[in-house]
Amino acid sequence: MFKLSRLILLPLVSLFLSTSRGRAQSEDLSGIISRDLFNQMLKHRNDAVCPAKGFYTYDAFIAAAKSFSSFGTTGDIATRKREIAAFLGQTSHETTGGWARAPNGPYTWGYCLRQEEGNPGDYCVANQQWPCSPGKKYYGRGPMQISHNYNYGPAGKALGYNLLRNPDVVATDP
């Protein structure tokens, strides 16, 4: 069973229970999740041993959230906090660079990786709607670890960018 360490779980609970500092429908999420809380939850993301050191920033998180106007802005404040906490918990799990005996536990190392490690396959599956570009690989990249051409295609459409042609951008543009 998936288990979060106390160092990531406590800030997530704090996010859920705390009162909002901003308007109920703020223009960005900074009224719900501060820079300090973001840094506390993802405390090891900028450690020297993390391949993604310096990549996942608070400012990039806020800017990306603004790109999706309904993310963290729909419903009452409790609902909004749950959505943000769930997103950060999932993406932290997907990008953990922690190991079983990592300092503070493996799940405090979220946002340490920006792409699948090792020598991943091409993850190209025949698909007429989302065809693979020659020579491109569609392995897990980014905080959501997008994999396979049939996921890169729709994600790129949502972002307004051709990720089938350039899947590496997910790991190079925060």
Q: Predicted confidence band at 27 (pLDDT cuts at 50, 70, 90)?
A: low
* Region 138-167 average pLDDT: 96
- Give the Cα separation of 49 and 145 in Å (integer): 20
Q: What percentage of the chain carries pLDDT values higher than 90?
A: 71
Q: Which residues are catalytic?
A: 94
| Cβ contact 22:109 at 8 Å | no
pLDDT digit string (tens) for 63-117? 999 988 899 999 999 999 999 999 999 999 999 988 888 888 887 899 999 999 9
Q: What is the pLDDT of residues 54-64, one digit of tens each?
A: 999 999 999 99
Neighbours of 112 (CB within 10 A): 25
Q: What global pTM score does this model have? A: 0.80
First-to-final CA distance of the chain? 30
The single residue listed with the structure tokens 């959230």 is 65
Which residue is associated with the tokens 């406590």?
10
Which residues, listed in sequence order, are joined to residue 146 by a DSSP beta bridge?
A: 141
All structural domains of the chain, each given as residue ranges with its CATH number in brackets, are: 31-108 (1.10.530.10), 115-173 (3.30.20.10)
pLDDT of 138 higher than 60: yes
Consecutive H or E run containing 17: helix 6-17
